[in-house]
Structure 1
């Protein structure tokens, strides 16, 4: 595996991925659209494979999936970095745009396609899932 690193906009929070992501998906849920003003490319990783340096702020709410989701962001610049779901603490979501080399990953699926706006550019070569897919094993 190529080591993947990333950081927030101001650099106060940095992170390292110690293993390959389990999944790379473009999410079109309304929450991701609010966070990114578009679909958001998210990496699905094991919690133990994510090493974070710096302080994080959190915001928790119930997602469309019904799960309680905590989103973590830099308290200085506001960059949204990570997410975690109460029912699956063994996994974390990493926003791919914060990688130092976001081209090092390629999404394989569009999720929450039912919520995508009519103008969304959905790659026809990627699998489409209308709502929340099952987590990778």
Structure 2
């Protein structure tokens, strides 16, 4: 994807971030953990290089194991609870950024759907998007 200024923050404004890009991937995830995070829906996420992300403000962290078996660090604002980032222990070079936290959510238009097999029967997404039933292969970077 084209490099664009990537900025965002949490609901209360206590956490702000920026990344110079590039956006490595943009996906809608229907894994069960994401459904917990998004009140039963999918999360829409971009992946950016970890070294390019700058965060201003304190984050709380919850560690868990994803449907893929990857150990994950999920980071959120301790004041308002906005879920902001995830990172897999086995992919330390990438950070997952929740599109809902972007100042310009148009930057996070999904390029594909992952964990489609875990989606409920009422789930909706653009049928033109490529879909993966489970964990996708490695991201481009």
1:1-48 CA distance string (max 9 Å, x none) = 331210000000000021121000000000101001211101111101
Structure 2: stretches of 5+ with no match in the other structure:
none
Q: Does 1:114 align with 2:117?
A: yes
Q: Where in structure 2 are the equivalents of 1:39-118 lying within 5 Å?
A: 39-118=42-121
> Match of 1:92, SS?
strand
1:30-88 CA distance string (max 9 Å, x none) = 01010012111011111011111100000001111011011000000000000011111
4+ aligned runs moved over 4 Å, structure 1: none
State the TM-score, normalized to the length of structure 1: 0.97
State the TM-score, normalized to the length of structure 2: 0.94
> Match of 1:127, SS?
coil
- Name 1:26's counterpart in structure 2: 28
